[in-house]
Structure 1
Amino acid sequence: MAATFGLSLALAMALGAASLATPGKALASEEGCPGLIARRASPIIPAALAQNEVGLTYVGHATFLIETAAGVKIATDYNDYVRPSVTPDIATMNRAHSTHYSTRPDPGIKTILRGWNPDGGRAPAYDQRFGDVRIRNVVTNIRQWGGESTIMEGNSIFVFEAADLCIAHLGHLHHTLTPEHLKQLGRIDVALVPVDGSYTLDIEGMMEVLSAMGPKLIVPMHFFGQSTLNRFLDRARSKSWDTARLDSASMTLSRETLPGTPRVVVLQGY
C-alpha cells in the first residue's frame, strides 16, 4: 500500500539515528529466542500446517498475518487501513503513524499488544504464550513527528516464536540496535523489515541491523513503490545475499527450509 506522510524526507534522512538507540527496559523474561516456553507441547494441529510450520502472509504496508499450526492468527502493526481478510486472535501495534495502530480494532480480536504506552511512560514488556506461540517484545525509540525530538520507547520489535522459529517484526524502527537490544532479541531466524530508507531507518543503518541480527530469511515491508524496494534489493545483492520474488503474498516457513545464508524474499502486495 503506497502511503504519504507529512514528515520531511530530507529531515528524516538527516536526523542522526544513532542518538535514538538507547536500550529499552529488560524483557519480563531474560530468556531469549528460542525460549523453553516455545518448546512445550502444541494443541491440536489443523491439516493446513504441519507442527513444524508457520504460515506468513503479507497483507500490506507493515501488516503481516502469521498463522501457527494450532490455528493462532496474529496480525502485525494492525491498523484501520490495511487489514487481513480474517479477524486475528492477536493484534500487535506500534505508535509511529496511524498506519501502524488502530483506533477501532475489530471487536473479535482476543488480545491487543501495543508496543508503546499510550498514557506515556515506560512501554509494556510482553512475554506471553498464546497456544503454540510465544510473543515478546524488545522496545526501541522513535523520532517525534517531524523529527524534532526523540520519543522514548515508542516502538517495539515483536518476536514470535513458534515451530522452533524466531520471527522478528521490526515495526517502525528508527535507529540501529545496541548490544543490549541484540541480547534481548536472541536468535532471529526470520526478519520482517521496513525498507523505505527514509521514514524508518536509512538503508545502510538497516543493513547494519540485519547483519548484527543474523536472520537467514528477510522479508521486506513498508516500502513505497518498486524503486524504493529495488534500492534495498540492490544493496542486499551487494552483500552477496540471495534475493527472490514470489508470485504469492503467502509462504510457509519451517526451520528445515531456512536457507544456509541470508536470503531476501519479496512477497506480493504492498
Structure 2
Amino acid sequence: MMLRILALAFTGLMILTVPVAAQEDRPPVSQCQLIAQNLPKVMFANFTPKTSALPADFAEDVTISFLGHSTFLIESPGGVSIATDYNGWLRSPLRPDVVTMNKAHSSHFTLNPDPGIRHVLHGWADVPGEKVSHHLTLGDTYIRNVSTDIRSYGGFEENGNSIFIFEIAGLCIGHLGHLHHELTDAHYAEIGRLDIVMVPVDGGLTMGAQSMSLVIQRLRSALILPMHRPGPPLASFLAMFDGKFDVSISDSAAVTVSMRNLPDKPLILVLRGMM
C-alpha cells in the first residue's frame, strides 16, 4: 500500500535569535510552507490554525480590497500596504509600500511605477527562463514567490510568472498571478498552506475553468477570491464546485480577515467589481 506522508504545520508565536551573518545568508522561515519528502506520494492537508493560544491584543485583521482585474490592495495590521499585479492605472487610495507584478500582459505590470513605491517585485527574472526569488520582510509582513511558466509567442516561457505569497498575522495569502498550467507536486510543496487565494477566472486566458478548479480544490484554501474576468467566465468557474465549496456574493469590494474568522468550509467570495 502506498505510504502517505502527512505534512504538519505548527502554530504559535516564536522569537528566534539568529546571528546577523546567518540572517543575511538565509531567507526568513516561512510559517506557511509545508515541508515534505517523497513528493509523488505526499498528501497535502489544509491547516486550520489554533487561535485559542493567541493573546487577546494580537493584531490580526488583514483587509483585502479588489481594485479591478487582478489588482488587490492588501493592508496588514501593522500598516504595510501591498498592491498585486500593479499596472500603474488601477490605483488605490494610498500609495502602496510594495507592488508585485507579472508580465503576461500590460494589465499586470508597468515598467514605470510610481517612484515613491519602496519595493517593486517583478514575477520574472531579467534573464528569460531563470527563476526570480523574492524574500522580503517589511514590518509585520513576509513576501515570497513561487515561479511558474507562462505562454509566450506560441510556446511556454519557463518561470515567467510568479505566485506571490504574503505571510501576515498568521495568515498565508496567495495571488496566483497569470497562471497558465496546472501545478506540480513540487509547486504545491513550495507554496505550502494558503488560507486565502486570489484566483484568475477567465475561462482560458490563463486556464480553463476545469483546470483552474482542480488547482483550487487541491489547495483547499479557506477563502477564495476570484479575479481577472467577471460575467460568463466567473459563472463557469463557480459551476465547477457543485456545492463542495460555499459561494457568497459581496456588496463590498473589500473583506477583513483574520485567523479567527476564516470559514470552516471553503468559501468562494465574489467581491464587488467581479460581477
The alignment's TM-score, normalised by the length of structure 1, stands at 0.79
Matched AA of 1:250: A
C-alpha distance 182-29 of structure 1, shift in aligned 2 (>3 A): farther
Per chain length, whose mean CA-contact separation is higher, i.e. which structure has more relative contact order (CA < 8 Å, sep 6+)? 1
Q: Measure the CA separation in 1 of the matches of 2:200 and 2:58.
A: 29
Is 1:198 the equivalent of 2:204?
yes
Where in structure 2 are the equivalents of 1:233-248 lying within 5 Å?
233-236=238-241, 238-248=242-252
Shift in Å at residue 34 of structure 1?
Answer: 5.8
| Offset from partner CA, 1:177-212 (integer Å, 9 cap, x none) | 111100011111001000102100111111111111
Shift in Å at residue 28 of structure 1?
Answer: 5.7
Match of 1:72 among 80, 92, 98: 80
Q: Measure the CA separation in 2 of the matches of 1:158 and 1:141.
A: 14
C-alpha distance 70-29 of structure 1, shift in aligned 2 (>3 A): closer
C-alpha distance 184-75 of structure 1, shift in aligned 2 (>3 A): same
Shift in Å at residue 228 of structure 1?
Answer: 1.8
Is 1:230 the equivalent of 2:235?
yes
C-alpha distance 194-242 of structure 1, shift in aligned 2 (>3 A): same
Where in structure 2 are the equivalents of 1:103-252 lying within 5 Å?
103-145=111-153, 148-223=154-229, 225-236=230-241, 238-252=242-256
| Offset from partner CA, 1:96-125 (integer Å, 9 cap, x none) | 000010122111100000000134241311
The answer to whether the Cα contact below 8 Å between 1:28 and 1:125 also exists between their aligned partners in 2 is no
Which SS does the other structure have where 1:181 is aligned?
helix
Q: What RMSD over aligned residues (CA atoms) do the two structures have, in Å? A: 2.0
Where in structure 2 are the equivalents of 1:27-66 lying within 5 Å?
31=30, 33=32, 51-66=59-74
The structure whose Rg is larger is 2
- Unpaired runs of 5+ residues, structure 2, are 1-25, 35-56
- How much identity, in percent, do the aligned residues show? 43
The answer to whether the Cα contact below 8 Å between 2:129 and 2:160 also exists between their aligned partners in 1 is no
